[in-house]
Amino acid sequence: MKRLYALVLALTLLLAFTPLTGCSQDDSGETVRIYNWGDYIAPGVIELFEEETGIEVVYDTFETNEDMYLKLKNSSGYTYDVVIPSDYMISKMLREDMLAEIDFNNVPNAAGIDERFKNLDYDPTGAYSVPYMWGTVCIAYDPEQVTEEVNSWDILWDEDYARRIFMIDSERDSIGVALLSLGYSLNSTDPDELEEAKQKLLEQKPLVLAYTGDDVKDKMIAREGALAVIWSCDIGIIREQDDTLAYAIPDAGTNVWYDAAVILKDAENKANAEAFLNFLCRPDVAQMNADYMGSASPVSEALANQDESIRNDPIVNPPAEELAKYEVFQMVDGAAELYEEIWSYVLAS
């Protein structure tokens, strides 16, 4: 009798754990596991890839770089093959030896990537990442509610727009906006400057309607607010539904970001992962994605085919002299905990 109960117990435990083990080995066919930002790929791209290659795609999304990083760090062994983090996070993952070197013989389309996106600071040798998308942090606003010119970050501290402002629920971006408004570097590690930024965010808090994520697009389209800090890759998705919102980058400059596809060291389907990267760099696919997000594709041929309104938009494709003024996020070694504490503090206040 005892044995029977033991068996029942064992079966129960087994059942409880099957979903965890099941997903990595449920199929005999070829698969590739991809981890990308939410709402960050054009509809149909994955289906097209599956159709052309016969490789099944398992696709999951994350909300911020930190969220993605922690999920990978806290799982042991194989999780995903391809991940698409941002610049500073790629540096961090590279330093922690989480990335696999890409065999560019399997990614011939990467040759079509514009020279200026190759070997950027986050991946100096260019051996670990393939640029996916790039853009800026900008202010989206409703011109009916905001009639003045938007040229300063200070507008996000303007009492006139109290409870009509959306900020991003992401520590680097929101603290970054505060640092910019104070005239400091986005990558400041100076405790005094960061303290000022914290006070600045606390001062702003009563004016902020909510700290949001991907849903800011819907909220701005529904005119829930007047101003929102957004990533320029959201512009295309907003325009698709509503082209009456306006966008601006303050004169003081902003953050320019580069998101790139990387292959994890623990990847079990590296060849499929490389096939996927190659697919993303194919000019027609790159253009589908860039058009969907209203961004300027890093693939030269794709960019050339994109609409002029995107190519000439200084928000998504800033001219070189402007770009030189913008800052890329870097790792904030030594101040990482301070950033986390500030953000927790601001949210809790």
Query: Which lies closer to other proteins via its Cβ, residue 9 or residue 23?
Result: 9
- DSSP, collapsed to helix, strand or coil, labels residue 82 as strand
Q: Which residues of 320-334 are buried (b: 16+ CB within 10 A; e: fewer)?
A: eeeeeebbbbbbbee
209 binds other proteins (CB under 8 A): yes
Q: Tell me how far apart the terminal alpha carbons of the chain are, to the nearest angstrom.
A: 58
184 binds other proteins (CB under 8 A): no
Q: How far is the CB of 144 from other proteins (least distance, A)?
A: 13
162 binds other proteins (CB under 8 A): no
Distances (CA, A) of 83 to 34, 111, 223, 271, 274: 6, 20, 33, 15, 12
96 binds other proteins (CB under 8 A): no
The secondary structure of residue 244, as a DSSP letter, is -
Contact 237, 39 (CB under 8 A): yes
* Interactions with other proteins, residue window 213-272 (CB under 8 A): 219, 222-224
Provide the token pair at 50.
Answer: 């599956």
Query: Which lies closer to other proteins via its Cβ, residue 9 or residue 324?
Result: 9
* Interactions with other proteins, residue window 23-82 (CB under 8 A): 64, 66-67, 70, 73
DSSP-assigned states of every residue in 11-35: HHHHHHHHHHHHTTSS-SS-EEEEE
14 binds other proteins (CB under 8 A): no
* Interactions with other proteins, residue window 329-348 (CB under 8 A): 340, 343-345, 347-348
210 binds other proteins (CB under 8 A): yes
Could you list the residues that contact other proteins (CB under 8 A)? 1-2, 4-6, 8-9, 12-13, 64, 66-67, 70, 73, 163, 167, 171, 205-206, 208-211, 219, 222-224, 340, 343-345, 347-349
